[in-house]
């Protein structure tokens, strides 16, 4: 579904992403793991058009999207849940979800998808009239994911969904990621909690200072001594 080849991204003179190549197959959960500053968020932002690559090709379903403008990316079937949630804080939960469907015209299907999101996250239905900025961190994360699902994505990019959440909420979010994937959405997951990410992913890539150092199935990475020492607490 997604193929990234020889991607190079710069911040000014800083070479942030140094020729990485990876792919995400239809129906998979693929995770990018690595320390802060490894280039995980930069990679997602480049896939979704928020940053421009100096060199390399990003293809989605066989089409080169390297030069596609960020506002056109959702039309292709890619939704990005950014680090830090970034919900519309002054709008209600319901209004945030409606904004997720902004590019769509099919009112009946939008209503069906709204119910689907409420089924995934019942707390959002309970708080549908509440101002999003007053939600807890976990609820805002649910809202950010729900808003992305309102675009009907084929590929969902998730950036640090567990950041700042209590352990019980982390379990809930990761369980929901698996449910969303099982319902047919392919997922590219960036996550510092490498243990959690690898336990729900099919495959993973380890990023270090802008390069892919290791890749393999989740089972291979979970049992890799280097990965265990650096990212899984020994």
Contact 87, 65 (CB under 8 A): no
Please determine, for residue 234, whether its predicted confidence score (pLDDT) is greater than 60.
no
**Structure-token match 């069906």, residue found:** 112
What does the pLDDT look like over 138-185, one tens digit per residue? 899 999 999 999 999 999 999 999 888 888 889 999 999 999 999 999
CA atoms of 170 and 38, how far apart (whole Å)? 22
DSSP 8-state assignment for residue 154: S
pTM, to two decimals: 0.93
- Copy the structure tokens of residue 114: 């709204």
62-87, pLDDT tens digit by residue?
999 999 999 999 999 999 999 877 89
User: Which residue(s) pair with 189 in the sheet?
Assistant: 31, 158
Longest dimension (CA), the chain: 52
| pLDDT above 80 (res 233) | no
**pLDDT above 90: percentage of residues in the chain:** 84
Residue ranges per structural domain of the chain: 2-231
Supply 47's token pair.
């896939």
Average pLDDT, the chain: 93
For residue 124 the two structure tokens come to 């959002």
Cite the DSSP H helix spans in the chain. 40-47, 73-76, 93-100, 107-120, 122-126, 137-149, 167-182, 194-200, 218-222, 225-231
99-131 pLDDT, tens digit per residue, is: 999 888 889 999 999 999 999 999 999 999 999
- Is domain 2-231 annotated with CATH 3.40.50.300? yes
| 14-51 pLDDT tens trace | 999 999 999 999 999 999 999 888 999 999 999 999 99
Q: Confirm if 204 and 212 have CB atoms less than 8 A apart.
A: no
For tokens 């309102």, name the residue.
150
């Amino acid at each position: 579904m997604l193929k990234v080849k020889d991607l190079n991204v710069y911040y000014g003179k800083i070479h942030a992403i140094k020729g990485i190549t990876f792919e995400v197959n239809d129906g998979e959960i693929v995770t990018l793991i690595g320390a802060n500053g490894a280039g995980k968020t930069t990679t997602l932002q480049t896939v979704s058009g928020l940053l421009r690559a100096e060199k390399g090709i990003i293809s989605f379903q066989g089409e080169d999207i390297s030069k596609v403008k960020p506002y056109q990316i959702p039309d292709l079937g890619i939704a990005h849940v950014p680090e830090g949630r970034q919900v519309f804080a002054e709008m209600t939960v319901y209004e945030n979800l409606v904004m997720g469907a902004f590019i769509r015209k099919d009112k009946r299907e939008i209503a069906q998808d709204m119910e689907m999101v409420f089924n995934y996250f019942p707390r959002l239905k309970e708080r549908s009239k509440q101002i999003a900025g007053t939600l807890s961190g976990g609820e805002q994360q649910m809202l950010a994911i729900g808003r992305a699902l309102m675009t009907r994505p084929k590929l969902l990019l998730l950036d640090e969904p567990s950041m700042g959440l209590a352990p019980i909420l982390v379990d809930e979010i990761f369980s929901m990621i698996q449910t969303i994937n099982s319902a047919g959405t392919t997922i590219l997951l960036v996550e510092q909690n490498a243990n959690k990410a690898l336990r729900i992913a099919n495959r993973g890539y380890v990023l270090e200072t802008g390069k892919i150092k290791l890749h393999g199935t989740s089972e291979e990475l979970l049992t890799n001594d280097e990965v265990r020492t650096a990212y899984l607490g020994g």
